[in-house]
Amino acid sequence: MAGTDITNLLEIIQRKIDAADGNTATKDLLYLLSAVRKGDGTALELYDSSGAFPDLTDSDADKEMIAYKLDSDRLYFNVGVWKGKSLPAAVPEPYTFQGSNFGYTSAGAEPTVGTTIDKFSFSSDGNASDVGDVTVARAFVSGQSSSTNGYTSGGAPTTFTIIDKFPFSTDANATDVGDLAVGRYSTTGQNSSTNGYISGGGTPTLSNIIEKFPFSTDNNASDVGDLTVTRRASGGQSSTENGYQSGGFAPPSSNIIDKFPFASDANATDVGDLTVARYGIAGQSSTENGYSSAGAPADRDTIDKFSFASDGNATDVGNLSVARNNSTGQSSTVSGYTSGGEAAGMRNEIDKFPFSSDANATDVGDLSVARWVAAGQQY
């Protein structure tokens, strides 16, 4: 088998290979190998096992060769001896709470309880379209999002325990995949990369429970902690490390911002205050900040922002296009969305405000059905 004199190029590749780690893209390595093969097509050879490699002690053997060992997915380089290096494993895209494709608004009161799952684009402004239904008509629900599915939890008019799941990859109806430990409505949703969380709500007695359910399997939720104050109709926010619950109906209205960890099951702590005590809040999250928009009593157009990096009070950074309450929140990588709500009747507006600067929201579309007390998800 003829070899190719690629000494200088081999040295460059060898340095690249020696520097490779788990973050090096396999594609980058293969580009290098492809360049090597352009010599005469024989610099890179595939072998079933190392026993089939050329004998380097044989004076007639190839001296400048790269060998790929099929049974172990390893590359070997002729440096006087065959030196092996495993191909770096593909690095999965890191999970982010924010979506880059679509926002969803599921269930809610239209004004009677409904089943509609609406989807709207994050890449362009426009109206939402009806893409499916939850399993049972209900309102006062909370939303959670994994990297592949949206979840709609709890609800009323009875105190539902249902956890519904619908896929992001295709437009389809939801399926019932689990139950809350305690049936309740007006809960708040948060999520980590691996679990959905449901906090607070009414049974109808006000609740302080924090529940968690896994994304990896269809399963029931379990009680993993408590909020600092029993309340419902709060805003939910999620950083990479913590879940937040802001405001709510205590009674009366609350301004408390609670924080609880994702890394361990534990109670929440009070870490700050909203600018105005209120309930019926929509929550949004950038990678750096949590946002609380809309609210009651007296329909609110306030957009509050608080930091994930340090505990502290929120600041008022803008206004919605229409003052309203019990809207639904969604988050893209660059913007927060507030959809639907109630203000002298059901609302269908989809408002968008930027994460990069403090500014007012603009009306960028409409839901397929005007409604309030729905759940929000993003993909």
pLDDT tens for each residue of 236-279: 999 999 999 999 999 999 999 999 999 999 999 999 999 999 99
Take residue 38 and report the two structure tokens written for it: 């352009």
pLDDT of residue 55: 79
Tell me, what's the pLDDT at 376?
Answer: 98
Helix (H), strand (E), coil (C) string for the chain: CCCCCCHHHHHHHHHHHHHCCCCCCHHHHHHHHHHHHCCCCCCEEEECCHHHCCCCCCCCCCCCCEEEECCCCEEEEECCCEEEEECCCCCCCCCCCCECCEEEEECCECCCEEEEEEEEECCCCCCCEEEEEEEEEEECCEEEECCCEEEEECCECCCCCEEEEEECCCCCCCEEEEECCCCCECCEEEECCCEEEEECCECCCECCEEEEEECCCCCCCEEEEECCCCCECCEEEECCCEEEEEEEECCCEEEEEEEEECCCCCCCEEEEECCCCCECCEEEECCCEEEEECCECCCEEEEEEEECCCCCCCEEEEEEEEEEECCEEEEECCEEEEECCECCCECCEEEEEECCCCCCCEEEEECCCCCECCEEEEC
Q: Of the ranges 47-56, 111-120, 357-366, which one carries the lowest mean pLDDT score?
A: 47-56
238/206 Cα distance (integer angstroms) = 22
Tokens read off for 240: 């990479």
Displacement of CA 218 from its chain's centroid (Å): 18
Query: What's this model's pTM, rounded to 2 decimal places?
Result: 0.80
Per-residue pLDDT, averaged over 163-169, amounts to 98
Supply the pLDDT for residue 38.
45
> Between residues 60 and 285, which one has the greater pLDDT?
285
Work out the pLDDT band at 1, boundaries 50, 70, 90: very low
Cα 362 to Cα 17: distance, rounded to the nearest angstrom: 50
Per-residue pLDDT reduced to its tens digit, 311-334: 999 999 999 999 999 999 999 999
Domains in the chain with CATH codes: 7-86 (no CATH), 102-378 (2.120.10.80)
Q: Rounded CA gap, 74 and 317, in Å?
A: 54
d(CA 212, CA 62): 60
Per-residue pLDDT reduced to its tens digit, 25-72: 555 555 555 455 544 444 566 677 878 877 777 766 655 567 777 777
Give me the mean pLDDT over the 140-145 stretch. 98
Q: Which backbone phi and psi does 38 adopt, to 5 degrees?
A: -65, -15
